[in-house]
Amino acid sequence: QVQLVESGGGLVQAGESLRLSCAASGSIFIVATMAWHRQAPGKQREFVAAITLGGRTNYEDSVKGRFTISRDNTKNTVYLEMNSLRPEDTAVYYCVLMARGRDYWGRGTQVTVSS
């Protein structure tokens, strides 16, 4: 059973930074593509960033240049460094593990950016 536990969310002011972490259980992490998605109040869930096993990254346009996704395969952990945060980044952020034809989702961590 794959379990994902996100942490690092919180309340910050516009322009500040946060670092989200997602710890995954199980050896499947080492073959997985990892991603972050988010869901703002009243909106559909959307893709934020992804990183492959080999370290290739992909970002949603509005976060390019501000967010950085990384992973530490020795710790089964993926990170999302978020800089220059904006009020529109306010959302619940979900960690996603994609491997062997399946997706696994964490429960999410709340990020709130005040103006």
Residue 62 amino acid letter: S
Question: Tell me, what's the pLDDT at 27?
Answer: 79
Residue 68 and residue 80 in contact, taking contact as beta carbons nearer than 8 Å: yes
Q: Is the pLDDT of residue 84 over 90?
A: yes
Looking at every residue in the chain, the average pLDDT score rounds to: 95
Radius of gyration of the chain (CA): 13
Question: Tell me, what's the pLDDT at 22?
Answer: 97
Per-residue pLDDT reduced to its tens digit, 21-68: 999 997 787 788 999 999 999 999 999 999 999 999 999 999 999 999
What are the strands, taking DSSP E only, across 3-45?
A: 4-7, 10-13, 18-24, 33-39
Question: Tell me, what's the pLDDT at 115?
Answer: 94
Question: Tell me, what's the pLDDT at 31?
Answer: 82
**Count of other CB atoms within 10 angstroms of residue 17:** 12
Pairing of the two strands 10-13 and 109-114: parallel
